[in-house]
Structure 1
């Protein structure tokens, strides 16, 4: 899912990196931490833009870090520029991660049990003048793909929106910090917010080749996790969209779009 996200939204990520390079032109980072690195999309993008930098990628998943290391080698970054650390940041800050020039936290802070404590730990780990980049999603984090009217044979207008309403209801309890005001949290932790920007993505045909698979992967996840929160008719529509051999497969549709947004804060340690 993470790699499909990176492939489909690569133009957004390139724009974000261009902006970040401009903002850090006074002091390009050399020591980078990717916090909640996943499969390393952010790690690789940062090291491609900051050629003199090295990165430490932190995640609590051993399998994610293994995939990250593989992808780093495939990208030609296996020359000591990437190091992985397995850690649960809700427990103890890893030893040796200090004097950092830039911390990248993409869709990770909202998973922290106590984000304010995590931000204070990051502040202590960043060198004076160093930066923290926070990338977060809206309260409804998944992209939209489908038109409201799905056409003959499916009916049930608004299926996707009902799915996202159910997601928001579920996340309100399970991920309470999703959609928080991170600018306020950053200031409270002791950072100075230098810049804030919202990136709006609306991709239309012709879409990236992976867009259909990306849409299918997300709808499959919604089907798995929301079946008990949707009525039987909506579940039936999802099943038809997810049937790769059926006439209504999402992989066969020519009216898909990709609509999402990301909010980014760049903050500096005084």
Structure 2
């Protein structure tokens, strides 16, 4: 959902902090996120209070298109404009959406800019895991308010945090490793992503919207799990390492690297006890 990559403005998705494993593209992790969490993305689009359905939709910070494709499925009569700064992500979206090319418009733009390209007057704007990466989210909210058609809806989807995959006692040589990595990541985000965890309901109201609904989706998938979950865990833990490494002990870092070594019998890909645990909250706000 498309929770987070430079999948909007200049933002880096929750999974997108670069390190030695990372090419800087992040398309793989975004595609895996979309694959593993497809059911949850669909449940959010089905919940949106949109009446008979919008005809024009804008996906702000679309990444490789998890939200754009879900919205095309949910609203078969709609056209979607997908906006992102990453050429690689937009290229991937164009490949995946070949069958819907007539209903999809792709726009490369920096959403941190003070002025945006012409995005029309959509009845629905969707922003998944992107608002907290904006340099000035209050300004972005006002821009969306002005962009929307009168009576249009703004759907803001935000992550509760980085997903978890391992049971509490894993790995055997370093129980609780994942939680310690998350503590380090939280500190990193407090410094680098100050708007994560913001009170979006209040911010939306202050920007002139009327918040019509708020819903939190709890994700708990597996075990047993699919191969995609294993690859999702691998890619996610690789990115987690990039932000947490400096705060980990040598023992924890060695245990994490064993999980990330795909040739090791301790590889996360060989574990049968993985499950995906996270939460996503959606706010539905109306321009009145």
TM-score by length of 1: 0.93
Which of 16, 28, 35 lines up with 2:44 in the alignment? Answer: 16
Partner SS for 2:174: coil
8 Å CA contact 1:195–1:267 kept in 2: the answer is yes
Which of 172, 185, 195 lines up with 2:213 in the alignment? Answer: 195
| Structure 2 unaligned blocks of 5 or more | 1-28
Partner SS for 1:260: strand
2:138 aligned partner = 116
C-alpha displacement of 1:173 = 1.1
1:42 aligned partner = 67
| Matched ranges for 1:255-270 at <5 A | 255-270=273-288
| Matched ranges for 1:62-211 at <5 A | 62-73=87-98, 76-78=99-101, 80-138=102-160, 141-150=161-170, 154-211=172-229
8 Å CA contact 1:98–1:124 kept in 2: the answer is no
2:15 aligned partner = none
Distance 1:169 1:187 in 2: 29
1:224 aligns with 2:242: yes
Instruction: Note closer, same or farther for the CA distance 1:208–1:17 as it changes in structure 2 (3 Å cut).
Output: farther
Count of aligned pairs: 260
Distance 2:46 2:211 in 1: 19
Distance 1:264 1:236 in 2: 37
Distance 2:92 2:284 in 1: 28
Partner SS for 1:179: coil
Moved over 3 A (4+): none
User: Aligned-residue CA RMSD in angstroms?
Assistant: 1.1
Distance 1:201 1:95 in 2: 35
Partner SS for 1:227: helix
8 Å CA contact 1:212–1:250 kept in 2: the answer is yes
C-alpha displacement of 1:121 = 0.5
C-alpha displacement of 1:213 = 0.5
2:5 aligned partner = none
Which of 32, 57, 80 lines up with 1:4 in the alignment? Answer: 32
2:57 aligned partner = 32
Distance 1:175 1:195 in 2: 26
C-alpha displacement of 1:98 = 3.4
8 Å CA contact 1:149–1:155 kept in 2: the answer is no
C-alpha displacement of 1:85 = 1.0
C-alpha displacement of 1:209 = 2.8
Partner SS for 2:247: coil
TM-score by length of 2: 0.88
| Structure 1 unaligned blocks of 5 or more | none
Partner SS for 1:263: strand
C-alpha displacement of 1:67 = 0.9
1:212 aligns with 2:230: yes
C-alpha displacement of 1:17 = 2.0
Partner SS for 2:125: strand
